């Protein structure tokens, strides 16, 4: 037992008779006996599955990660094997426990966070899937979504779900499986099949069929869930021809979902948190108040704003979705995403071969004073919010005889910052809230040059937390709060430490000039 835990224990003991629940009391006694417990976060992502064991301070005790194959049956189609999803999950949980030298009994609760929208359908009796998982990136239902828009369903779908009809979301993927897998529709109509996003599938498998549930944040990405009534929408189920018997129960993100089957990890572990990855990062960044914003710089960029109990209607190409809270009722969130963020750096490394590592991009960018008038628009797969132009393409403008490798690399990093700037401006217009602080995370936020430039062009502070694993941490916090491991938001707020804040230092005239140049470059990318 560490001194820190001693202090914590005695501090809490002093309050014993006041406001402790039985669970917290049991927890306390364990600490006093030297039996500290931990929270395990499972992050089931698009390219890998990770498990991280956290302690009370939010520190990482151990982690394990496993990548798994992407399946591309046709151009634009993306699938995952359900066995890979489940196999990697069990493997990384087991490995993280071993690395931390813990057993299942040392884990107070598991929090699950997951790639969103990805769709699975399985037999309720056997648990066997009828088809591979159709991944969020898969475009196979794009035509059908276009038809929905042409037939005038855009407004109705947006008003109920907060989403723009797109192949990205689960509804049309479920319909595709029912329409294309032999016998699936008849079985679904007989009530034999279940649908789930990845969280639901994992809950089912980890509990050997005892839990059939999802949380509000994942449900809000299916395009079947009414985010205002917090219920599956019967009219949309009819529109997509999906039997209601296929759908899981929906609970808050911080909730006791049930326990993992004892045979998996030696003894049962309670699952007390379920949350979609972007909403998990929002919570992990402690963006729990109205107006709080975070941006994740991963392969793509995801900007999310907590708008509290008010659903903000977007006129600028953003979607409205549900966020996780410490209590039962979900909050509303405004979300904007760009498809290619950090991925443009990967492209410079793997295809252009002008850097040998992502980190080298910073070193190169700092070799020049500015981009020398060069703009890189990273529209490699079209432009997302706020432009929504699927036919736009990556563009480099302003090249002169004096342009060097360093200028192009710098312009590519700046391009990521401009994309986020466009999202922030759309969000400010929609919400009427001026963003004064941007919480950042994801792989590319480690790039100091990018963060400084981001702060300059946004004219607002960017804040990088000490604990970089905000997605896993968010899931851990939601689970630990439900399990009584943490007493409330106050306690976890004490864990939050800023690693570095970048404050703007660019002259306003220069900032506006650069943004004008960016707008011109975007126009060219959309020609
Ligand atoms: P994801 O979860 O989407 O797979 P990550 O959050 O792990 O992504 O971030 C990986 C992305 O960040 C990659 O596209 C990589 O090129 C980029 N990246 C990582 N480190 C840096 C860096 N120092 N500078 C710029 N980009 C980086």
In tens, the pLDDT along 21-76 reads 555 555 555 555 556 899 999 999 988 999 999 999 999 999 999 999 989 999 88
180 alpha carbon – ligand 1 mean position (Å): 36
pLDDT score, position 467: 86
99 alpha carbon – ligand 1 mean position (Å): 25
The DSSP code sequence of 88-108 is HHHHHHHHHHHHTT--GGGEE
342 alpha carbon – ligand 1 mean position (Å): 5
How far apart (Å, rounded) are the C-alpha atoms in residues 469 and 450? 19
CA torsion angle for 123, 127, 131, 133 (degrees, to 10)? Answer: 130
403 alpha carbon – ligand 1 mean position (Å): 25
Residue with the nearest Cα to atom 23 of ligand 1?
Answer: 359
pLDDT score, position 7: 43
Average pLDDT of the residues of the chain: 92
How far apart (Å, rounded) are the C-alpha atoms in residues 408 and 415? 10
Residue with the nearest Cα to atom 27 of ligand 1?
Answer: 444
Residue to mutate (ligand 1; options 443, 453, 473; most atoms within 8 A of CB): 443
pLDDT score, position 4: 42
Distances (CA, A) of 315 to 320, 334, 430: 11, 11, 6
Residue with the nearest Cα to atom 15 of ligand 1?
Answer: 342
Residue to mutate (ligand 1; options 300, 358, 448; most atoms within 8 A of CB): 358
The list of the chain residues with pLDDT below 50 reads 1-17
Which residues does ligand 1 sit against, CB inside 6 Å?
A: 45, 47, 298-299, 342-343, 345-346, 358-359, 361-362, 442-444, 446-447
337 alpha carbon – ligand 1 mean position (Å): 15
Residue with the nearest Cα to atom 21 of ligand 1?
Answer: 444
How far apart (Å, rounded) are the C-alpha atoms in residues 11 and 474? 25
pLDDT score, position 119: 98
Ligand 1 atom closest to Cα of residue 296: 6
pLDDT score, position 22: 58
Ligand 1 atom closest to Cα of residue 349: 16
Tell the burial category of 527 from Cβ atoms under 10 Å away from its Cβ (0-12, 13-18, 19+).
Answer: exposed
How far apart (Å, rounded) are the C-alpha atoms in residues 427 and 293? 10
Residue with the nearest Cα to atom 13 of ligand 1?
Answer: 342
Strand, coil or helix: 242: coil
Residue with the nearest Cα to atom 18 of ligand 1?
Answer: 444
pTM of this prediction? 0.89
Residue to mutate (ligand 1; options 70, 137, 444; most atoms within 8 A of CB): 444
Ligand 1 atom closest to Cα of residue 342: 14
Residue with the nearest Cα to atom 8 of ligand 1?
Answer: 298
Are residues 416 and 375 in contact, defined by beta-carbon separation less than 8 angstroms? no
How far apart (Å, rounded) are the C-alpha atoms in residues 277 and 283? 10
């Amino acid at each position: 037992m560490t001194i820190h835990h001693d202090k914590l224990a005695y501090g809490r003991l002093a309050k014993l008779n006041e406001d402790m629940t039985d669970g917290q009391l049991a927890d306390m006694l364990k600490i006093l006996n030297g039996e500290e417990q931990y929270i395990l976060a499972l992050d089931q992502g698009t390219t890998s599955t990770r498990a991280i064991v956290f302690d009370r301070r939010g520190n990482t005790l151990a982690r394990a990660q496993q990548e798994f194959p992407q399946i591309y049956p046709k151009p634009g189609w993306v699938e995952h094997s359900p066995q890979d999803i489940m196999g990697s999950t069990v493997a990384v949980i087991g490995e993280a426990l071993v690395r931390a030298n813990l057993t299942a009994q040392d884990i107070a609760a598991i929090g699950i966070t997951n790639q969103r929208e990805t769709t699975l359908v399985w037999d309720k009796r056997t648990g066997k899937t009828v088809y591979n998982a159709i991944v969020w990136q898969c475009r196979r239902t794009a035509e059908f979504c276009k038809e929905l828009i042409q037939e005038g369903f855009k407004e109705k779908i947006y008003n109920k779900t907060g989403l723009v009809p797109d192949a990205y979301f689960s509804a049309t993927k479920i319909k595709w499986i029912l329409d294309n897998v032999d016998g699936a529709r008849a079985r679904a109509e007989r009530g034999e099949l279940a649908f789930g996003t990845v969280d639901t599938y994992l809950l089912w498998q980890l509990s050997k069929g005892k839990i059939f549930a999802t949380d509000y944040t994942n449900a809000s990405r299916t395009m079947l869930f009414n985010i205002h009534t917090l219920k599956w929408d019967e009219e949309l189920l009819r529109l997509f021809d999906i039997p209601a018997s296929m759908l899981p129960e929906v609970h808050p993100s911080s909730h006791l979902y049930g326990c993992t089957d004892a045979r998996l990890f030696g003894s049962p572990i309670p699952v007390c948190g379920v949350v979609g990855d972007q909403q998990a990062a929002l919570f992990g960044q402690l963006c729990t108040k109205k107006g709080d914003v975070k941006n994740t710089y991963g392969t793509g960029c995801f900007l999310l704003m907590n708008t509290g109990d008010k659903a903000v209607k977007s006129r600028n190409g953003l979607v409205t979705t549900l966020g996780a809270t410490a209590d039962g009722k979900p909050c509303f969130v405004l979300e904007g995403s760009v498809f290619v963020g950090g991925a443009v750096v990967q492209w410079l490394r793997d295809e252009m071969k002008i850097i040998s590592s992502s980190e080298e991009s910073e070193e190169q960018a700092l070799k020049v004073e500015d981009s020398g008038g060069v703009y890189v628009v990273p529209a490699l797969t079209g432009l997302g919010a706020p432009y929504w132009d699927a036919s736009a393409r990556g563009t480099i403008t302003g090249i002169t005889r004096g342009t060097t490798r360093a200028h192009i690399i710098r312009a590519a990093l700046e391009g990521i910052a401009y994309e986020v700037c466009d999202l922030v401006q759309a969000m400010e217009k929609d919400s009427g809230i001026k963003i004064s602080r941007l919480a950042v995370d994801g792989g590319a936020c480690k790039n100091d040059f990018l963060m400084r430039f981001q702060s300059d062009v946004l004219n607002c502070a960017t804040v990088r937390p000490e604990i970089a694993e905000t997605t896993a941490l968010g899931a851990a916090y939601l689970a630990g709060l439900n399990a009584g491991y943490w007493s409330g938001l106050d306690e976890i707020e004490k864990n939050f430490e800023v690693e570095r804040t970048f404050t703007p230092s660019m002259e306003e005239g220069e900032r506006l000039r650069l943004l004008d140049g960016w707008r011109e470059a975007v126009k060219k990318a959309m020609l």
